[in-house]
Amino acid sequence: MPKSWIDDAPEPMVLQEHAHLADPISYRIKKRILGNPLNRHSLSHQRLSKTRALGILSSDCISSSAYGSEQILLALIPMFGLAAFNILMPMTAVVLAVLVIVTFSYREVVSVYTKSGGAYVVSRDNFGPVIAQIAAVALMLDYIVTVAIQSAAGVDAIISTFTNLHPWKLEMTIVVIVILTYANLRGVKEAGAAFALPTYFFIGSMAIVFGMGIFRSINGTLPKFDTNIEGTVPIGQSQGLFTFAAIFILLRAFANGGSSLTGLEAISDGVSLFKVPEGINARRTLIIMSSILATLVFGISYFAHAMWTMPFESGTPTVISQIAKAALGNSLFGGLFFYVVQAATMAILFAGANTAYNGFPYLVNFVATDGFLPRQLTKRGHRLAFSNGIFLLAGSATILTIATRASVEHLVAFYALGVFTGFSLTGFGMAKRAKRLGGNKWRIKYLINAMSGVVSTIIVLVFSIVKFTEGAWIIIAITPILVVLLLRLNRQYRREQAALRVTEAKSRRTSISRHDVTVLIDNVDIATVGSVRYARSLNPRNLTAVHFVIDDQRAEAISADWAKNPALSDVTLQIIDCPDRRLPNAAVDYSIRATASDDVELTLLLPRRSYSRLLGKILHDQTAEAIAAPISQLSRVVATIIPFDVEKILDTDIHIESRISPVSEVPNVKKAALPKLQGVEAGPVGHYNENILPISNATWRRRAHVRGQVTGIRTAPSGGTPRVDVEVWDTTGGITLQFLGRREIAGLDVGSTICAEGMVGEIEGSLTILNPSYEIVI
C-alpha cells in the first residue's frame, strides 16, 4: 500500500466495523429462546449485605424445615403408633443438637475460606485431591437430589391446596425442573433480589402461623386431628424402645430428620459474595440462618406433636399444611391466609431447588478446572451461565424424579447421605488444619470440628444401614465408581499435559533447518492451485505435488492437466503407486521416507473440498480427515487441511452481512454511558485537544482525544523492540494506540475503557495515535 507521505496515496481511515457470517438457524433459535448473548465483561458478582445474603443463600436450608418433621413421623407412626408423637420432640432435640455442632464447625470454615469454601475446597486443601473427589461426588449427588426433592415438595404444597391435581404430580414436578432450568440458562443471577423474597415470605408466614397456634394453645382452642382418616399412614402398636426393631426404626427416624439440615453448607460456598469483611458477615449470617432453621423445625415438630398431625401415604396434604390450616382456623382471615402460607411454602421450596442451579455448575467448574471432570464444564454459555453444568444437573434430577415418581419419602433416602458425607470431610479437614497450624485456641477449634466430623460420620453410617434397602445402596454403590472415574479422567489429563509440556530442549527447536512441503492432489482444479499458492508462501526448501495412484487412467489425466497448467510449471508432480488403495497408509509411508533425515521437517497440505452437508456426504468421500489423523502421530510431520467451499461457488451469494459494532449489540452496554461527544472539528496541531471526539471523526495529522473500549492488545515479540498496540472502539469506529518502548500497560485489559489523546498518524492505512497520554476509566 502507498505510504501516507507519498502524493496521491489514499488517506488513512479509522478501523471499519467487523463483518460477520450470517447466524445459522440453530443460533437464531437459541437467541430467540434465551435472548441476546451477554457481554462477558458484564460478568461480576454483586456484593451482598447480610440481610440479602440470608434471603438468597438460606432458602435451601430453611425450606428443609417444611418436610423434616413429617419424615420423622413417617418412620415412627407405623412402628410406635400414637406414641410416636411423644417421641417426636426428643428426636427433634437430637437433630437440633447435631445442627448446633455442624453450625459451629462451618462457622470456622467461613472465617478461614473467605474466597471459596465448602467440603470440596476444605478436603482438597487438607487431605489432597483424592479425598476431595469423595466430597465432590457427594456434593454433586446432593445437588441433584436437592433439585428433585425440593421441586417435588413444592408441588406437594400446591397439591395440598388443590387436591384434584394429585394425578399430575410427576408431570408438574418435571415442568418445575424445566422452568428452573430455562430461567438459569437465561442467566438468572444468584444475587438477584427476587430470590431473597421467598425466604422472608416463608419466615413471616410461619411466624404468623406459630403466633396463631400459640394463642389458640393458650386459650385451649387448638384442635387435635382425627388419627383414623383414610389415606394416612398405618398406625402401629405401642411397644418398648429397646428392642432391635424399635432401635432400628428410631435410627431411621433420626436419619429422616437429618434431611432438615440440608443446605447448611450454602453460605460456605458463597462467602465471596458478602460485603467486606466477608468472613465476619458470613459467620453472623450463618448463625442467624441456623437459629431460624432451629426455630422452624422445633415449631413444626411441636405443633405436630400437640395436634397429632398425621402424615398421608400419598404425601399430600403435607403436615405443614395441616398445621397451618388448624392454627389459622376457619375464619375468613384464616382461610385466606392458609393460601398465603401454601404459596410461601411452595415459593421457598422452589427457591431452594434453584440454589442447586447456582451451586452445582460452580462446583463442577471447580472440579473440572482441577482436571477431574471434562473441560466443557468450565465454559460459560450464551448468557454467561455454566450451561453444560446446568444441563447435567437438570437431566440427572429429571431421571431421578421419574425413577422415584416424585415421592419426597423415597427421595429422602438419597438425600442426607451426601450432605453428611460433606459435613464429615469438612469437620475432619478443619480439625486437621487447626492442629497443623496451631495458633490461638487451636484446641477448641480442633475439638469442635473433630466432634462435627465424628457425629456426621456416625450419621452417615446410620443412614447407610437403615436406608440401605430404600435406595441408599445406590448412592453407596455409585460413589466409589464415580470417584474412580474422576481419578482416571484426571490421570488422562495429566498424561496429555505431560506430553504437551514445553521442555528446555524443545524450546530451543523453534526454527526448522530444512522444511519441505508436499501437496497431496487427486485432481487439478482451483482447490489444487490455491493449495500450491499457499504452499509457496511457506518458502519451503522443496515443493512437491504427490498423487497416489488408485486408477491409472485418472493418474494419466492428472499428469496431462498438470503439464498444461502454467501456474504449476515450477512444481514437481510425483506419481506414487497405491496398489491396495489404502491412502492413509500410503501417506504415512511417504512421510516416513521424506523425513528419514533428522534435520528435515515435512508439511503435508491436503486440499479439502467442502460440499453441502447432506449431498456432500452422499456424493463425495472425506479422504483428507482420514489421512490427517495417522499423520499427526509422526514426529516432524504436520498435516494441514486447506478447506475450499464448493457450495459457496455454486451459491454466488456469500451470505456475509455487515453489522453494527459489538458494543452496541450488547444489551448491558448503554450508549448513554459514553461521554458527551463534542463537535467534529479537530483541535490544532501541537496542542492538547480536550474535547472527546467520536473515533470516526479523528483526523489524520491532527490531535484527537478519544474514548472507547479495548478490543485487542498486541505486544511485540520478547526478542524484538518493545511495543504495545491497543485497538480501541466506540460506537462509531476503531483506532489503534501505539506505545513504543513498553511491553505492557499496567491495569489495561481487553474490555477496559480508556481515554487517550495524541497526534493521529497512520500505519498500513489505518489511523494510529503514537504514544498517547491516556487514562484507564474504572
Nearest alpha carbon to residue 603 among 587, 626, 622: 587
Q: Which residues contact 112 (CB under 8 A, 6 or more apart)?
A: 279, 430, 433
Grid cell in block for residue 131: 479425598
Burial class (CB in 10 A: 0-12, 13-18, 19+), 756: buried
For 35-164, where are the alpha helices, taking DSSP H only? 50-57, 59-63, 65-80, 84-112, 118-127, 129-161
Q: How many angstroms separate the CA atoms of 427 and 731, rounded? A: 54
**How many CA atoms, within 13 angstroms, populate the side-chain half-sphere of residue 162?**
10
Q: How many angstroms separate the CA atoms of 604 and 543, rounded? A: 10
**DSSP class of residue 468?**
I
pTM: 0.73
pLDDT in tens, 311-365: 887 777 888 888 888 888 888 888 888 899 888 988 888 888 888 887 788 888 8
Q: Omega into 277 within 30° of 0, i.e. cis? A: yes
Count other C-beta atoms under 10 Å from residue 632's C-beta. 9
The predicted pLDDT at position 510 comes to 53
- Contact (Cβ atoms closer than 8 angstroms) between residue 486 and residue 454: no
Count other C-beta atoms under 10 Å from residue 755's C-beta. 17
Count other C-beta atoms under 10 Å from residue 702's C-beta. 17
The predicted pLDDT at position 211 comes to 92
The predicted pLDDT at position 279 comes to 83
Nearest alpha carbon to residue 273 among 48, 91, 544, 585: 48
Across the chain, which has 778 residues, the per-10-residue mean pLDDT values are 51 64 75 73 62 82 83 84 86 91 90 78 90 91 89 87 87 93 74 71 92 89 82 72 73 80 80 79 91 92 89 81 87 86 88 83 87 88 83 94 85 78 91 87 90 90 82 86 93 84 60 82 87 90 88 86 86 84 86 85 86 52 75 85 73 45 38 38 51 87 90 79 88 90 84 90 86 87
Nearest alpha carbon to residue 144 among 352, 348, 400: 400
Helix axes 129-161, 65-80, angle to 10 degrees: 80
Residue whose C-alpha cell is 505510504: 3
pLDDT in tens, 6-63: 555 566 777 666 555 567 787 778 778 877 776 666 555 456 678 888 887 888 888 8
- Contact (Cβ atoms closer than 8 angstroms) between residue 679 and residue 691: yes
Q: How many angstroms separate the CA atoms of 257 and 64, rounded? A: 10
- Report the DSSP beta bridge partners of residue 740: 723
Residue whose C-alpha cell is 495412484: 549
CA distances from 177 to 148, 350, 407, 521 (A): 8, 9, 15, 54
Q: How many angstroms separate the CA atoms of 154 and 152, rounded? A: 5
Q: Tell me the three state secondary structure of residue 677.
A: coil
The predicted pLDDT at position 662 comes to 40
Grid cell in block for residue 590: 511417504
Report the length, in residues, of the chain.
Answer: 778
- What is the identity of the amino acid at 480? P
- Contact (Cβ atoms closer than 8 angstroms) between residue 425 and residue 122: yes
3-state helix, strand, coil in the chain (%, to 5): 60, 15, 30
- What is the identity of the amino acid at 601? E
Q: How many angstroms separate the CA atoms of 637 and 600, rounded? A: 9
The predicted pLDDT at position 41 comes to 61
**DSSP class of residue 694?**
P
The predicted pLDDT at position 670 comes to 38
Nearest alpha carbon to residue 583 among 520, 642, 643: 520
Residue whose C-alpha cell is 505435488: 545
Nearest alpha carbon to residue 726 among 700, 755, 698: 755
Residue-by-residue DSSP string for 436-486: HH--TTHHHHHHHHHHHHHHHHHHHHHHHHHTIIIIIHHHHHHHHHHHHHH
Cα 746-748-750 angle, rounded to 5 deg:
150
* Cα 514–chain centre separation: 46
Helix axes 332-369, 319-328, angle to 10 degrees: 150
First to last CA, the chain: 38
What is the phi-psi region of residue 24: left when phi exceeds 0, alpha when psi lies from -120 to 50, beta otherwise? beta
Helix axes 169-185, 332-369, angle to 10 degrees: 60
The predicted pLDDT at position 240 comes to 57
Q: How many angstroms separate the CA atoms of 617 and 640, rounded? A: 21
- What is the identity of the amino acid at 568? L
* Cα 352–chain centre separation: 18
The predicted pLDDT at position 658 comes to 41
Nearest alpha carbon to residue 94 among 243, 240, 251: 251
Q: How many angstroms separate the CA atoms of 254 and 248, rounded? A: 10
CA distances from 73 to 6, 666, 724 (A): 92, 54, 70
Grid cell in block for residue 143: 445437588
CB crowding 260-283: b at 16 or more within 10 Å, else e:
bbbbbbbbbbbbebbeeebbebbb
Residue whose C-alpha cell is 442426607: 416
The predicted pLDDT at position 657 comes to 43
Q: How many angstroms separate the CA atoms of 633 and 565, rounded? A: 35
- Report the DSSP beta bridge partners of residue 640: 605
Determine which helix (DSSP H) or strand (DSSP E) holds 704, and give its type and residue range.
strand 703-715
